[in-house]
Amino acid sequence: MDKTVPAGAAFLLDFIASKEAPRGYNTVFDNKMSMMPNPLTTMTVAEVVAQGPWRTKTFGSSACGRYQFMTATLQGLIKELGLRSTQVFDPDLQDRLGYHLLRRRKYDQFMAGTVSATAFGNQLAMEWASFPVLSDIKGAHKAVRRGQTYYLGDGINKVLATAAEVEKAIAKAKSLGNAAPAPALVVVRVAEPVVVVPATPATPVPPAVLATTGFVARLGGWIDRVFGAA
């Protein structure tokens, strides 16, 4: 998860991804990643958008990535956030885009307490079709009941989570708050303290010993010269 995404949002995005794209950031609709010319995470956002019609024709939907971005959604995000066309559609960028979608769907207001959990849950269901609505509302195509997908009737989408699961995840996200994730623990190795041991003063050698020592040294040299030359 990108380190700029706060704790509550990171938890929600992980929950969303577990339903929408449990196989990760390279997921395409119907999990047909083996048919992709290149993994999504190696493509630029411009390439992902340009490939959208081909994915729709080949897989049945342009949805892609860990949060199943539709082509129209990506185009809106590129314009709204001023993304460069050369930016790579890598995991960190997908996380940031997913977080922005949460904020579009009143995440900030929910965390601040000005939008109810039920209203926020319904907003999530409008963004992610595998999520159920949390109350009876008018869906995209017809009236839908609590626990049904907002897109009921389109013949494509189906619910992959229960209303109770979503409510639990929303409550957990709020309890985690909007604080930035804790930085990674950095272990700093402290050098061992240097212990300075005072030098022991040399014991003076008496002159008599020095004289003897000099005589022994001269004698040793004479023996070496005599017997060494033999």
91-111 tens-digit pLDDT = 999 999 999 999 999 999 999
Q: What is the pLDDT of residue 190?
A: 45
- Average pLDDT over the chain reads 85
Across residues 10-33, what is the average pLDDT? 96
**In terms of pLDDT, which residue wins out, 222 or 119?**
119
Q: What is the pLDDT of residue 116?
A: 97
Rounded CA gap, 116 and 100, in Å? 19
Integer CA distances (angstroms), 130 to 17, 67, 99, 148, in order: 10, 11, 18, 9
pTM for the full predicted model:
0.76
Q: What is the pLDDT of residue 27?
A: 97
Rounded CA gap, 29 and 57, in Å? 11
Angle formed by the axes of helices 71-81 and 91-104, nearest 10°: 90
Q: What is the pLDDT of residue 229?
A: 46
Query: Does 76 have pLDDT greater than 60?
Result: yes
